[in-house]
Structure 1
Amino acid sequence: MSEMSARRDLTTQEWQNAYSGAVMDTFGPPQRILVRGEGAYVWDADGKRYLDLLAGIAVNSLGHAHPTLTAAVSAQMGTLGHVSNFFGTPAQITLAERLLALAEAPSGSRVFFANSGTEANEAAFKMARRTGRPRIVALEGGFHGRTVGALALTHKPAYREPFEPLPGGVEHVPFGDTTALEEAFSPAAVSARGEVAALVVEPVQGEAGVRELPAGYLALARRLTDDAGALLVLDEVQTGVGRTGSWFAYQQPEIGGGVVPDVVTLAKGLGGGFPIGAVIAYGERAATLLGRGQHGTTFGGNPVAAAAALATIGVVERDRLLAHVRQVGETLRRAITTAGNPLVAGVRGRGLLLAVELTRPVAAQVATAALEAGFIVNPVAPDAVRLAPPLILTTDQALDAARFFAEVAVPEPPKEG
């Protein structure tokens, strides 16, 4: 009997005690101990079922234990698991070709594989450094990862300050402020601080509360970076691979306005739950910034991760999930906003990356109530609850979630005096 099998009857509290004695306290105590999943549902150690409306933070694109993904990973692991990047594999090469095709990338484009979103953004950071220019511009509210280069791009002081000094040359401009963006590229800014190497933005800021860039912002960003000879880097770690109803969020006319970026970073939903990240470099100029020996990874692009990503992309295509995401996302949005709950101010976002806006800063209490009711959500801001369910979420499941938001109530705090 395996050690895991011998412990299968432990309760949630017993697992919690074991966790606190063995796992580093970087995340706090886990809300539940989850033991299995199927489709859009997961079960905890006490047997309670939850509708997973977070999908591992936009990771489990196909839900849990999807048969196609499971079979692809098992078959690849039974054939060739890991070889290092001294060698290529058919899965790695095929996945790179598929991503370039989905991105409609021009001739000369290339892909670099990593293991996570932060690693993909770290590679993009190094690409910007290779231009020889001193400045990288990012947006306030942006989240790009926790490794030191990606953390330098990330704006939140609570994440940054414990690890300063971070790599220099990064400056943040207010989210959606076109005047501030133009100032960063102005002759006065270039004279004072040097030329811009890259502008790094998320088309929709996930960790900041699912905030979509204003219409026309990316078109302005493309014009400014073109005029300056700088890179336009789009962080689609959370928004890519169908999450917003298109392969990439920037491909939606309302967001991208037809822009073609220089670099796109991906991770999260790309592997359907298996760790993988990717950097798509558009055109020969971006694709050749990192030369031989200037960057690397032991596990990045391994054949099992590549097989998982190919299977995920294949299911999204086969099952027409892009259209499904748009339809179910709109159903979910409409059902929540029309329910008339005075606690709900509205819903923002696209596809199945949504935030339920609240009229009071009680998102943590709403998330706790959701968990007790059998729904996993994320209090991404004091007054917003993030929803990023599997792309396979059904209409009935979406309506179940909407009923929770129609009925949830958080008592007003007692008035002083």
Structure 2
Amino acid sequence: MMPEPLTLCFYNEGPPHKRGTIPRHVADALERRGMRITYGDESVEPDVYIFEGVWHETRYRKPVIIRAENLMDAATKHAHCYDRGDAIVFNSEWLRRLYRNTYGSELSNVWVIPPGHQMDRQVRVGAPDPAAPQILCISKWWKRPYKRFPLIARAFDHLNRTLGYPNATLHVLGWLTDRPMPYLEVPPILWNLPEAVRRNPNIRYYHKSFHNDTYARLMSQAHLVVHLSAVDSGPQVVVEALSQGVPVLIANNMGAAEWVQTIGPRAGVVLELDPITASFDELRRMIPVESPTDLAGRPKAPRWQRAIRAVQEWPSQRRFRRLCGDTRAYREVALAMKGVLDRYAAHQFEPPRAYTMDGIADQWLAAVRSVAPERSPVHEPSIR
């Protein structure tokens, strides 16, 4: 006799196209372990709900596991509900530590489970053309200055002009327009970046409403993904790059640094650019930089006014101006870019360390069992 399988509902409250964000191969691995998986189907009553973010305790009468993945949501609107979940899953030890340092005590049932993507794929050596390397950067810098596009742009320009990669191209997704104007004329002009950097023809801009096909095409051609955010939890672009065999260049103050270190040198480079954030309190002081109008409770301003206001208010944020506006580290970043690109030509990428879906699925299974012990075997009636 086999025990009756548990039914798990991976549910993301929001628009239907955003629900069910758990990767399909993790769901498959759980199903092979005897679980049933649903994604918010109202006709099926699950045994355990797994939410990304907030949940309503009055609505659900079954055990709840909360996936704490969105950094800013975890720091503000979702933090109050974490201690009401039956378990909480952080995607990195870095994020779990922020929560503990802020609220002073450990939650009773905590798990640290990395993203369920096959991030230990080997680099696609020889697939893209190493003579004309493509570097990808997703940076709504006009909205989130801490993503440090000025630093990335100046480092890339140095790579182009000085370090032997004149044919390299930097693709910037998430801009206000499909060209560097008119935003670059809004003071301060990218913190006084040289004119040559701002007009570098090898830096190509894509509107923030870029089509998914554009993103997929650029990712498939990329040799390197650069994400130098001064603080982040688990950037999706890093997950997708690693799962497609593309190395990454990231800053150290984020949960993704743990994934890169787990996979090994094949995954790319972690640059020691920042002090490690100690608590959510530090993040709350940063948040007004991202969207001062909305998060302050004022009515939304028109897009251009909001962008201009964000830039004009930025210099008052002294600590993050130093972290995000300072481009003096561009040589270090450019050398790191060159180091990764050189390995393509030399075919020197090491095999990745194990980062298997089976291991991640086993951790999810243990988390589920911690809130919903295995059922008793089902006794089928005998037929006489």
TM-score, normalization by structure 1: 0.26
